[in-house]
C-alpha cells in the first residue's frame, strides 16, 4: 500500500514550501514520525516526519524546489516494510546517528505556535524597523535571509513591503529579477 507524502501547511498564511534537504533516499526504510525531509517557508524552517512506516519508494520533488502545500512530494511503500529484508542492515547504521534526531519531531509542533506569536511580536517591534541602520534588527523570515545570502543582497538596503516594514520573499524575488545583486557587492565580503 502506497502512502503519499504531502507538503504540510506550517501556518495559516503559508501557501508553499521549499524542500531544503531530503534526510532519506529512495529504498531507505523509515519509521512513522521519523524525520524524512527539511522544509523552509516564509515563516519557519522545520523537519517533516514520516506519515507512515515503510520504505521510501519515490521522491517526486527534489531539493531546492518550491511547491504549493498539499503537493505530493514523495511516496512511501507501507507494505514494503515487511518485504525489504536487505534494508534493515543498511538502516541499522544510521539509526544510532538519527536517534538524537528522533526527538526533533517535537520542535515542529512547538514551531507551529511560533508563527502565531511572531506577527504579534513584529507589530510592537515595528517602530525600530524604519531606523534599520547598522546594528538594528531587520524583519525578515529565514527563507528571505537565506535567499539574500545566496544572491549577495544586503537586507538593510531592501525596503520591506510587508506588515510593519517586513521584508517578504516577493521583495527579494523582485530585487533579484531587477538585477539588485550588484548593489550589494560591498556587504558580500562581510
Mean pLDDT in consecutive groups of 10 residues from the start of the chain, 190 residues: 89 88 93 91 88 93 91 87 42 42 45 43 38 61 85 84 82 83 45
In 3D space, the residue among 16, 28, 22, 71 whose CA is nearest the CA of residue 53 turns out to be 28
- Confidence at residue 110, expressed as pLDDT on a 0 to 100 scale: 44
Residue 79 backbone phi and psi in degrees, to 5: -75, -25
Rounded CA separation 130/103 (Å)? 40
Residue 75 grid cell: 511516496
Report pTM: 0.45
- Confidence at residue 152, expressed as pLDDT on a 0 to 100 scale: 87
CB 41 within 8 A of CB 14: yes
CB 20 within 8 A of CB 73: no
Q: How far apart are the first and last CA of the chain?
A: 52
Length of the chain: 190
- Confidence at residue 180, expressed as pLDDT on a 0 to 100 scale: 67
Rounded CA separation 118/2 (Å)? 37
Rounded CA separation 2/4 (Å)? 7
Q: Tell the residue number behind the cell numbers 498539499, with chain if given.
A: 70
Amino acid at each position: 500500500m502506497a502512502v503519499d507524502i504531502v507538503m504540510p501547511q506550517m501556518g495559516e498564511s503559508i501557501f508553499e514550501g521549499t524542500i531544503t534537504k531530503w534526510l532519506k533516499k529512495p529504498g531507505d526504510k523509515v519509521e512513522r514520525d521519523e524525520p524524512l525531509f527539511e522544509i523552509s517557508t516564509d515563516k519557519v524552517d522545520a523537519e517533516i516526519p514520516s506519515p507512515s512506516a515503510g520504505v521510501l519508494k519515490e521522491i517526486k520533488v527534489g531539493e531546492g524546489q518550491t511547491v504549493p502545500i498539499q503537493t505530493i512530494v514523495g511516496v512511501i511503500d507501507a507494505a514494503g516494510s515487511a518485504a525489504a529484508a536487505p534494508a534493515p542492515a543498511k538502516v541499522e547504521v544510521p539509526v544510532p546517528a538519527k536517534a538524537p534526531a528522533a526527538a526533533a519531531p517535537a520542535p515542529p509542533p512547538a514551531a507551529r505556535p511560533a508563527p502565531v506569536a511572531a506577527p504579534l511580536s513584529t507589530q510592537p517591534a515595528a517602530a525600530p524597523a524604519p531606523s534599520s541602520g547598522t546594528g538594528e534588527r531587520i524583519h525578515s523570515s529565514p527563507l528571505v535571509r537565506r535567499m539574500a545570502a545566496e544572491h549577495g543582497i544586503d537586507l538593510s538596503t531592501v525596503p520591506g513591503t510587508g506588515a510593519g516594514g517586513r521584508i517578504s520573499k516577493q521583495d527579494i524575488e523582485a530585487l533579484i529579477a531587477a538585477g539588485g545583486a550588484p548593489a550589494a557587492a560591498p556587504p558580500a565580503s562581510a
